[in-house]
């Protein structure tokens, strides 16, 4: 299902072999979830748990959930009340789920207890297959946006932004952790690729219907192409409550920019799978060595106003 055709690159003037780079592991099966979270921690956990078990039995080793997987409030400030530290009972349950299903989990957009009682962090948590939290990333770019169609979001009202870029090694390559609106800031992804050597970019999201229809796929494919990384983007989909609806289309993209798995917007709950093969990352990068062609730093410094 997910074999990218190297023949596509072969037409280009280059002599080096596209075969696997030294050390790259065999392909690993990954899954991307789509779901419609609601304002009920137990109901969302039940959905996540069911999907994790199904995915595990179809050979998935790494399952990626969307932003606000565990809870989505219907009223302002509701999520502040359920926010917890990463060692609290909500995350503990998901750690157990990872261990029971022997799978790594990417849990994007957890309401982590913030620096004071009126703020949370929007945190992407990575759990390994023994149930240990390996890494966490606090969303840097907050969604303070007036969406066409009269929806006004002000994420910064209850959320404190993170300030640290996070990449972490895993059996599925070096993962770059991001969340949702971060997707619109390519400099974060450039930093993940060229400074932190990411090979797989994770973008758990709850995009709005309007902005998702207009921008979602093209932004994700652009990030994959310009970083030569796999991109795994789990999406919330459908109506969460009377006021809020998300744009589905959970997607996995290979480092050539080809969509290798996806779930349509109309499908509210499920997962799609693909094989992440790190030798493909190396093959694309060898054929088109953009890391050697970058001139940004010097051009930026010398450019005049
Ligand atoms: O507030 C919550 O419940 C969780 N956070 C979110 O859903 C966030 C902030 S409101 N949503 C986005 O970043 C959408 C971005 C988007 O749609 C775009 O960039 O177009």
In a domain, 243, yes or no: yes
pLDDT for 25? 57
CA of 284 to the centre of ligand 1 (A): 32
Distance from C-alpha of 33 to C-alpha of 234, rounded to nearest angstrom: 5
- Residue whose CA lies nearest to ligand 1 atom number 4: 68
Quote the ipTM score.
0.93
The atom number, within ligand 1, closest to the CA of 236 reads: 7
CATH code at position 275 = 3.60.110.10
Question: What amino acid positions are annotated as catalytic residues?
Answer: 67, 139, 180
Gyration radius from the chain CA atoms: 19
Ligand 1 pocket residue status of 211, Cβ below 6 Å? yes
In a domain, 9, yes or no: no
In a domain, 215, yes or no: yes
In a domain, 225, yes or no: yes
The atom number, within ligand 1, closest to the CA of 158 reads: 1
In a domain, 296, yes or no: no
pLDDT for 19? 37
Tens digit of pLDDT for each residue in 108-157?
999 999 999 999 999 999 999 999 999 999 999 999 999 988 789 999 99
CB 124 within 8 A of CB 179: yes
pLDDT for 274? 98
Domain with 33, as residue range(s), is 28-290
What are the residues whose beta carbons fall under 8 Å from the beta carbon of 22, sequence distance 6 or more?
A: none
Ligand 1 pocket residue status of 206, Cβ below 6 Å? yes
Ligand 1 pocket residue status of 155, Cβ below 6 Å? yes
How many domains are there within the chain? 1
Ligand 1 pocket residue status of 182, Cβ below 6 Å? no
Ligand 1 pocket residue status of 181, Cβ below 6 Å? yes
In a domain, 65, yes or no: yes
Confidence (pTM): 0.91
Ligand 1 pocket residue status of 237, Cβ below 6 Å? no
- Residue whose CA lies nearest to ligand 1 atom number 6: 206
Ligand 1 pocket residue status of 143, Cβ below 6 Å? yes
> Which of 37, 67, 151, 237 maximizes ligand 1 atoms within 8 Å of its Cβ, making it the mutation to test the pocket?
67
In a domain, 116, yes or no: yes
pLDDT for 2? 36
CB 267 within 8 A of CB 248: yes
The list of the chain residues with pLDDT below 50 reads 1-24
CA of 180 to the centre of ligand 1 (A): 6
The atom number, within ligand 1, closest to the CA of 215 reads: 20
Q: Which value, to the nearest 10 degrees, does the dihedral of the CA atoms of residues 49, 44, 141, 205 take? A: 70
In a domain, 260, yes or no: yes
pLDDT for 112? 98
pLDDT for 51? 98
Q: What are phi and psi of 157, to 5 degrees?
A: -60, -40
| Assigned token pair, 170 | 């895993």
């Amino acid at each position: 299902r997910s074999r990218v055709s190297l023949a596509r690159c072969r037409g280009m003037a280059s002599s080096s072999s596209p075969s696997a780079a030294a050390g790259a592991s065999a392909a690993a099966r990954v899954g991307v979830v789509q779901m419609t979270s609601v304002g009920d921690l137990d109901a969302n956990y039940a959905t996540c748990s069911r999907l994790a078990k199904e995915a595990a039995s179809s050979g998935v080793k790494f399952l990626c959930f969307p932003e606000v997987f565990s809870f989505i409030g219907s009223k302002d400030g509701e999520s502040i009340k359920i926010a917890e530290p990463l060692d609290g009972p909500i995350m503990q349950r998901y750690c157990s789920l990872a261990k029971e299903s022997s799978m790594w989990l990417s849990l994007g957009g957890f309401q982590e207890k913030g620096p004071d009682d009126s703020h949370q962090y929007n945190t992407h948590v990575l759990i390994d297959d023994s149930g240990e939290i390996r890494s966490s990333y606090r969303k840097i770019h907050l969604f303070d946006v007036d969406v066409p169609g009269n929806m006004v979001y002000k994420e910064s009202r209850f959320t404190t932004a993170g300030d640290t870029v996070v990449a972490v090694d895993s059996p599925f390559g070096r993962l770059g952790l991001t969340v949702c609106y971060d997707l619109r800031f390519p400099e974060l992804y450039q930093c993940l690729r060229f400074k932190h050597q990411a090979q797989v970019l994770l973008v758990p999201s709850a995009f709005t219907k309007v902005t998702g229809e207009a921008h979602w796929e093209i932004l994700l494919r652009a990030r994959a192409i310009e970083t030569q990384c796999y991109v795994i983007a789990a999406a919330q989909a459908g109506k969460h409550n009377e006021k809020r609806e998300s744009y589905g289309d959970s997607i996995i993209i290979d480092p050539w920019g080809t969509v290798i798995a996806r779930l349509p917007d109309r499908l509210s709950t499920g997962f799609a799978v693909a094989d992440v093969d790190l030798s493909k990352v190396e093959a694309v990068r060898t054929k088109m060595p953009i890391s050697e062609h970058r001139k940004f730093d010097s051009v930026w410094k010398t450019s005049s106003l």
